[in-house]
Amino acid sequence: MSVLILLCGHCGVPESAGSASFGTDVEARWSANLCHAAEEALRGTRSVEDLLTVGPDLEGQILVLEAAIRSGVDPLRIRFLDVWRVGKDAGDLIVHIRGALARMRATGGVKDSPRRSARTFRGALPRRSLLLPTVRYWAPLPRVDASRCVADAGCDLCVRACPASAIAGGNPPRIAPELCHGCSVCLAACPVAAVGHPALDFEGVEAEAGVLADGPRRTLLVACTATLVSLDSNELAAAPGPWRLLEVPSLGSLRSEQVLRLLAQGFDRIVAVGRGPCCPEGQAPFEVARALLANLGVPDRILFWNVQVGPVASDWAKALPSGGRPLPAVRSIHELALALAGSGGSAIDLPGRGAGLVTVEPDLCTFCELCAERCPTAALRIEDGDGGAVRITFDHELCDACGLCSPVCPEGALRVRSAVDPAAVGRRDRLAEDTWVCCRSCGRKVAPAAMIAVVAARLSSPAGLDLCPDCKPLRLVPSR
């Protein structure tokens, strides 16, 4: 046995939910009162690698967690499924259990992965932590892959994105375990996927969503852990049947293209569910995805709701007319825009990161290369052309409008626009072109002509600008 499922009858989970077949490596145990009998339910679990619990409230989950750790289960291989809070239908619970199992299997090994200790549990401060201040709970700690990180080029997007100020700049950046909240916003902020963790990566989320989408078309509710642990059926203004519930560390842990990939699994809609300010900037990826689809003629497929305002609208649980327009399975915003609008489509402005268009003012650019050096994805490049030409080129598909390039331009020649242009997908465009000035003595490249002109205009005596550093003293300093 490698996976154990515990279900709590005291919390209203029907015994029939544990009778389904979940695989030969899975055992399901239903307990009439798991909340107060965790030790008994976990007897004989020394061979368990993964534990999935359905039923206990937050305090009961802690008791199960502590008992499971004492039984030898890695705390990062323990998952709590909260869908029982909004519905007790056995069929729906079974689908969600299968989805959770798919995510756990896709997660892979976490034995040696970074982790942090904290007094909070699943985003809340339990009573047990107040009574026993020394109690600590384990949670994943994102790690930075130094081989992929581009902090040495000036990227600090993860540092700026962290709402807890837990990431210090460096090469690579350092994440302070005592400050990290586990929101995973840093994963979404990194344009080169250098920040990650097996228990937090999107592959597991996508695997779970794929199972939840199986069967009749549904509405997917995406909610952060802090919202889920307090969610109840009164906050859904419809029978729970049409809903599918997906947990993420925070709404801001997803990138806009990942939101679209979830929708493309086959859901009618995605509703991001938050509770007040629980997820800083959590609406951003959903707003970008919503705006893109609305401009492509696919409106009302991605929505956001704050449950503090009232129950989730019942209309959002209804099937779309004619089943809705299916989305193609794509990997990026650029691919989706091209698939739905065609190569002749116009550029679509977006309200945030996801895709970007860069323009350069040729009369101001000196081809200093600072923008290309700062670009973390190589969307911008300085390239040599025929006949001594030097060019700035741009690959739209590689740009997510991170905005790192524009501030470093000393001439103010570069602009970044959050937008996607189907006509620019699949090609590298030339933004500006100049010619190299070569050393009049040895023929080596000195600088682009535009840079020579700018420097010459600022010097009272511009002599020797067409000489390389090696030849300049030989030609300009009189010999004795």
Residue 55 is predicted with a pLDDT of 86
Question: Looking at the domain assignment, is residue 327 inside a domain?
Answer: no
Question: Looking at the domain assignment, is residue 366 inside a domain?
Answer: yes
Band the pLDDT of 236: cuts 50, 70, 90: low
Dihedral Cα 444, 449, 455, 456, nearest 10 deg: 100
Band the pLDDT of 321: cuts 50, 70, 90: low
Residue 360 has pLDDT above 80, yes or no: yes
Residues 70 and 128 in one domain: yes
Question: Looking at the domain assignment, is residue 103 inside a domain?
Answer: no
Question: Looking at the domain assignment, is residue 310 inside a domain?
Answer: no
Distance, CA of 107 to CA of 112 (rounded, Å): 13
Among residues 68, 100, 135, the one where a domain terminates is 135
Residue 192 is predicted with a pLDDT of 96
Residue 48 is predicted with a pLDDT of 84
Residue 310 has pLDDT above 80, yes or no: no
Residues 389 and 452 in one domain: no
Among residues 94, 119, 135, the one where a domain terminates is 135
CB 177 within 8 A of CB 143: no
Residues 15 and 117 in one domain: yes
DSSP result, 364-423: T----SHHHHH-TTS-EEEEE-GGGEEEEEEEGGG------SGGG-TT--EEEEEEE-GG
Element at 459 (helix H, strand E): none
pTM, rounded to two decimals: 0.92
Higher pLDDT, 146 or 131: 146
Strand order through the sheet with 445-448: 380-384, 389-395, 428-438, 445-448
Question: What are the phi and psi torsion angles at 154 (to 5°)?
Answer: 105, 5
Range 207-215 average pLDDT: 91
User: Whose structure tokens read 């979404």?
Assistant: 188
Q: How many folded domains does the chain comprise? A: 3
Question: Looking at the domain assignment, is residue 339 inside a domain?
Answer: no
Residues 42 and 117 in one domain: yes
Residues 413 and 472 in one domain: no
Q: Is the dihedral of CA 199, 203, 209, 210 positive or negative?
A: negative
Question: Looking at the domain assignment, is residue 393 inside a domain?
Answer: yes
Q: Give the strand pairing for 389-395 and 143-144.
A: unpaired
Q: How far is CA 48 from CA 25, 26, 97, in A?
A: 10, 9, 17
Structural domain containing residue 117: 1-81+109-135
Residue 238 has pLDDT above 70, yes or no: no
Residues 389 and 461 in one domain: no
Residues 371 and 468 in one domain: no
Residue 323 is predicted with a pLDDT of 54
Question: Looking at the domain assignment, is residue 302 inside a domain?
Answer: no
62-100 confidence digits (pLDDT tens): 889 988 988 888 999 999 998 888 778 898 899 999 999
The closest alpha carbon to 332, from 372, 280, 379, belongs to 379
Residue 324 is predicted with a pLDDT of 63
169-204 confidence digits (pLDDT tens): 899 999 999 999 889 999 999 999 999 998 999 999
Residues 31 and 129 in one domain: yes
Residues 131 and 55 in one domain: yes
Residue 233 is predicted with a pLDDT of 67
Q: List Cβ neighbours of 158 (8 Å cut-off, separation of 6 or more).
A: 144, 167, 173, 186, 189, 190, 195
Beta bridge partners of 79: 52
Residue 52 has pLDDT above 90, yes or no: yes
Question: Looking at the domain assignment, is residue 402 inside a domain?
Answer: yes
Give the whole-number percent of the chain exceeding pLDDT 70. 94
Give the CATH number, domain containing residue 376: 3.30.70.3270
Residue 331 has pLDDT above 70, yes or no: yes
Residues 419 and 457 in one domain: no
Can you say how many angstroms the Cα of residue 172 is from the centroid of all Cα atoms in its chain? 19
**Mean pLDDT in the chain?**
89
Residue 478 has pLDDT above 70, yes or no: no
Residues 45 and 113 in one domain: yes
Residues 18 and 54 in one domain: yes
Residue 239 has pLDDT above 70, yes or no: no
Q: List Cβ neighbours of 366 (8 Å cut-off, separation of 6 or more).
A: 410, 411, 413, 448, 450, 451, 454
Give the CATH number, domain containing residue 1: 3.40.50
The closest alpha carbon to 150, from 408, 392, 372, belongs to 372
Range 147-162 average pLDDT: 96
Residue 254 has pLDDT above 90, yes or no: yes
